[in-house]
Structure 1
Amino acid sequence: MYLRKIILAVLLLGLVIGGIFVYYVYGVFFSPNTAFQNEEAFVYIPSNATISDLEERLGPLLKDYASFEAVAKRKQYTERIKGGKYVLRKGMNNNEITNTLRSGNTPVKVSFNNQESLETLAGRVAQQIEADSLSLLNAFRDLTFLKEQDVNIDSSLGLYIPNSYEFFWNTSGVDFRDRMVKEYQRFWNEERRNKARSIGLSPAQVTSLAAIVHKESAKVDERPRVAGVYLNRLRKGMLLQADPTVIYALKRQLNNFDTIIRRVLFKDLTIDSPYNTYKYGGIPPGPITMPDISAVDAVLNAEEHEYYYFVANVENFGYHKFAKNLQQHNRNKEQYIRWINSQNINR
């Protein structure tokens, strides 16, 4: 009888301890453990993160980081921490948080446009993914890569088609660059390549000309007409004489693309640069900016006309007045010069 009581007591004690253990384990695994009040919170885990890195980024978002770490270790996540952007929802438990960090890497949207150099492109992209601007720039400038793509430093900006793309936040500089090459090849499909051939230009030349068109007119509906002017000049063997190329040449000379130049002076037209289309014939050796897709398509679908000149229309700002001959153009230009002088724009 006494032995039976002892056995019963031990069984009851075991049940109590087991119940407490189960309750503790359930609480650690399945009790809500988020400390933020918003419906969602984002956590960015760097590549090659350590447990310390994990605690630094995740700790402020949790009520009890130690309980999370216990679950993460139990599920062997801490042995294989994965970089990326992760979305935590309010009220998540440690089990859900760990599962999210193991397999819930969420893409980020990367957008860029109108960059004038590889440096500014790298800086823009580095604001949106883990890779820093230096690693991106090194990837862009890699000589083996440039040779494989049959481009040089000057023309390589054209490889990056401005748009919005989805990337994982922990994308490296090389992976970003290689993805952009695939996007470039997708953009330059057979239809666009055929159109380029029909006007006697390569995709790289189209991009460089589109960059000028982009700078000349912010009006998408006017760009095919502007493109038609430059194609007419090329066919006739005329200099392009595009002011934006002179501005770009000046910025390169100053090594400062943040310089604001609102007026091209006569002395600027003599600058010795292959980008100065008042001095050198043909299309510049590379794009003076990253042209919008609309500008590229404007060149490929240029308006057919007999215009060879254009100047800003001060009666309809943003647009231009077009002329078929120099006499008509000079009349239009006089009106523009009178207006710009009245604005006291000296540079």
Structure 2
Amino acid sequence: MKIIGLDVGTVRIGVARVDTTTKIAIPDGYINVNGQEISEIQRKLSFHNSNVLVIGMPRSNDGNQTAQSDFVKSFTERIAATIPGLKIYFQDESLTSVEAENRLKSRKNNYQKGEIDAESAAIILQDFVERLQSALNNQQTLAPVEFTPAGVIEGEQTNLKSQEQDEKMPKKKNSFIKKVVISLFIIFVLGGIGIGGAYHWYQQQLLPVKNLNCLYNSPAEAAVGTEEEKEADCRYQTFEIKTNETINEISARLKTQNLIRSSEIFKFYLKLNQKSSKIKSGIYHLRTNMSMPQIADLLEQGAVSNNVFNLTVLPGETITDIRQKLIKLGYQDTQIDAALAKQYDSPILKGLYSSEGRLENQLQPQNVALEGYLYGETYQFYQGETVEHIFKTMIDQLNNIANLNKLEEKFKKRGLTLREGIILASIIQKEAHTEDMPGVSMVFQNRLRRGWSLGSDVTATYAADLVNPNRNKNDPNNNLVVLETDSLYNTRKHTGLPPGPICSPSISALLAVAEPDENMKSMYYFLTGDDGKMYYSVTDTEHEQKKRDFCQKLCNVGL
């Protein structure tokens, strides 16, 4: 389940998102408050297929609500009235902007106000996720915000145990009757073959679907093993239990994936052993030679394991960033280099390799061949997983995204190959916020059609980092050095697209290439003003004037 978080301000609204399976909130840009903000929020929710919204609620140092709190409540009422069916929760926020700015300072020298808002939204959302998990652990639930004629009523934490005590007599009675009915049903169905036969039949249903001798005894062993299982059924299947999924739904999917013999007996087994309320959400690795009790025990224990680690790659990060994350996880440079040099087989890599197995573009450095193809997402791997498998998983995820959104077909309509579309998306990822990506995409495509250089500073920066990874970014002459870097990656000096992508593009950047903003089809220039807004121009003269009018600070930031 996806949840969207908002840090609501009077000028901008920071946005973040989280998947309840990974439980890691990440920034997702910001929305300008210009009269279209609720439409943009609705677009975000629709894009991520979410109907849950978490909104930061400001409070004073002594915990009381402020004038900003009233503004947030009023704004929340507008959202609820415009977008029906939402579950909205408030999450207390205190000094999140300060913490967000400190986080950004630790990661980069230069950042925009909108990035602070997005980071604040991520902090708010992460706090909510931890509060939600704590409630679940204590068998509690969080009630969403209520909207009444008297105003907004914040949801409170409800103790499920207390509810059961309040309704003790009816619930116990219903529970007892239900157990009796189920038991009588089983006895009735099996009564014809006798008690002994019934018991034997029941025990048979608890056995694994298949009796196999497999090479590996755990998903962790299989992940790091050098040999593949000969029996296809010995390979572990991914089985995800989502938050709020019912036992009926879980049992039915287990049967569909041929992991249990009977969904009804599985439900009966859970009830008989008082496990129905103990099943935990998460991602599990199961196979057909596991018995019903084994599967039930795993689902009760939960998916979290010391043998598992998460790897989060954010949109806009590069192979250099990914390398550093892998090193922190304990991988060696030699392992990473070997994985980067490996040739991978995936439809998404069309145009990367020649028929002889070499890089199609010999001017692209081998060590960044996979740049742009390691899709930014949060992944879960077993300890000891090979770097090759990690990279293959990320490449496959990008391939899934491309297939789902028919990107190759859409790129072709724009006159771009699949690889060219990914390269352009990576540049757009670095150049623009999510909401500005379609407009920036149209400007770049206009320039490509004219045969002009893209003139992108972010490509010049990438080129400079390739030529000199240890360059002094505080050198007063740094900007001149960057812009004059003699590399085909530098689109300030060379026309056309660079030899390869410059970072991992997000789905938003990829879709911006496929579906650019047609309202900008006459524009050939853009810049981000000091106010965070994007300004477009038709001519260079107009562009230079907008620099003087709106970009005194950002346009002079070091590259």
> Scaled by the length of structure 2, what TM-score is found?
0.39
Q: Is the 8 A contact 2:472 2:478 kept in 1?
A: no
Give the C-alpha shift of residue 118 in structure 1.
2.8
SS in 2 for 1:234: helix
Residue 255 of structure 1: aligned partner: 469
Counterpart position of 2:310: 109
Does the Cα contact within 8 Å between 2:529 and 2:554 map onto a contact in 1? no
Contact 1:223/1:295 (CA < 8 Å) preserved in 2? yes
Match of 2:335 among 135, 152, 157: 135
Deviations 1:66-108 (CA, angstroms, capped at 9, x unpaired): xxxxxxxxxxxxx9898579xxxxxxxxxx9xx98xx996654
| Alpha-carbon separation, structure 1, partners of 2:547 and 2:217 | 67
Q: What residue number does 1:6 align with? A: none
Task: Identify which of structures 1 and 2 has the higher relative contact order when contacts are C-alpha pairs closer than 8 Å and 6+ apart.
Answer: 1
Q: 1:207 aligns with which of 404, 408, 422?
A: 422
Task: Give the aligned partner of residue 169 of structure 2.
Answer: none
Please point out which of 274, 290, 294 is paired with 2:488: 274
- Given that residues 441 and 517 in structure 2 are in contact (C-alpha distance below 8 angstroms), is that contact kept between their aligned partners in structure 1? yes
Amino acid in structure 1 at the alignment position of 2:485:
I
Which residue does 1:313 correspond to in 2?
Answer: 529
CA distance in 2, matches of 1:335, 1:262: 25
Q: Cα distance, 1:203 vs. partner?
A: 2.4
> Which of the residues 225, 231, 235 maps onto 2:449?
235
For structure 1, list consecutive stretches of 5 or more residues without a partner in the other structure: 1-39, 41-78, 86-95
SS at match of 2:381: strand
Residue aligned with 1:322, SS: strand
Q: How far off its partner does 1:268 sit?
A: 4.0
Structure 2 counterpart of 1:292, from 506, 512, 516: 506
Gaps in structure 2 of 5+ consecutive residues = 1-136, 138-215, 224-293, 354-358, 360-365
In structure 2, the residue corresponding to 1:278 is in which secondary structure? coil
Answering whether residue 392 of structure 2 is matched by residue 178 of structure 1, we say: yes
Q: For the residues of structure 2 that align with 1:163 and 1:133, how far apart are their CA atoms?
A: 22
Is residue 316 of structure 2 the alignment partner of residue 118 of structure 1? Answer: no
Query: CA, structure 1 residues 340+186, in 2 after alignment: closer, same or farther (shift >3 Å)?
Result: closer
- Equivalent residue of 1:136, what SS? helix
Over 3 Å counting, the alpha-carbon distance change for 1:108 and 1:156 in structure 2 is same
- How many Å apart are 1:257 and its aligned residue? 8.0
Compute the displacement of 1:260 (Å): 6.9
Residue by residue, what CA displacement relative to the aligned partner does 1:271-320 show, whole Å, maximum 9, x if unpaired?
A: 21101112111111112222222212221221112111012212x22x32
Q: Distance in 1 between matches of 2:338 and 2:464?
A: 25
SS in 2 for 1:271: coil
Aligned-partner Cα distance in 2 for 1:140–1:334: 44
AA of the residue aligned to 2:429: H
- Matched AA of 2:389: D
Contact 2:462 2:489 in 1 (8 A): yes
- In structure 2, do the counterparts of structure 1 residues 168 and 257 end up closer, same or farther at CA, with 3 Å as the change threshold? farther
Partner SS, residue 166 of structure 1? strand
Give the partner amino acid of 1:112.
Answer: V
2:548 is paired with a residue whose SS is: helix
Deviates more, 1:219-228 or 1:109-118: 109-118
Relative to structure 1, is the Cα distance of residues 82 and 206 closer, same or farther in structure 2, using a 3 angstrom cutoff? closer
Identical pairs, percent? 22
Which residue of the partner structure matches residue 60 of structure 1? none
Scaled by the length of structure 1, the TM-score of the pair is 0.61
Structure 1 residues 179 and 340, CA gap change in structure 2 (3 angstroms): closer
Instruction: Give the structure with the larger helix fraction.
Output: 1
1:296 maps to a residue whose letter is L
Change (3 A) 1:104 1:112: closer
State how many pairs are aligned.
250
Give me the whole-angstrom Cα distance separating, in 1, the residues matched to 2:321 and 2:487: 21
Give deviations 1:138-189, integer Å, cap 9, x for gaps: 11222x4489953443442122111112322332122222223322321221
Closer, same or farther: CA 183–114 of 1 in aligned 2, 3 Å = closer
| 1:175 maps to amino acid | H
User: Cα gap change, 1:231/1:155 in structure 2, threshold over 3 Å: closer, same or farther?
Assistant: farther
- Structure 2 SS opposite 1:221: helix
Task: State the superposition RMSD in angstroms.
Answer: 3.8
Match of 1:216 in 2: 431
Change in Cα spacing, 1:251 to 1:267, as seen in structure 2 (3 Å) is closer
Matched-pair contact (CA < 8 Å) for 1:155–1:285: no
SS of the equivalent of 1:194 reads: helix
Maintained 8 Å contact 1:233/1:239? yes
Cα gap change, 1:229 to 1:265, in 2 (>3 Å) = same
Query: Deviation per CA, 1:22-51, whole angstroms, max 9, x where unpaired?
Result: xxxxxxxxxxxxxxxxxx9xxxxxxxxxxx
Equivalent residue, structure 2, for 1:332:
546
Counterpart amino acid of residue 310 in structure 1: F
Give 2:413's match in structure 1, choosing from 198, 207, 217: 198
Question: Structure 1: how far apart are the matches of 2:419 and 2:471?
Answer: 22
- For the 8 Å contact 2:372–2:426, the answer to whether it is kept is no
Offset at 1:211? Answer: 1.7
Cα displacement string for residues 214-270 of structure 1 (whole angstroms, at most 9, x for unaligned residues): 1112x2111111111101111111110011111112222222389579997456433
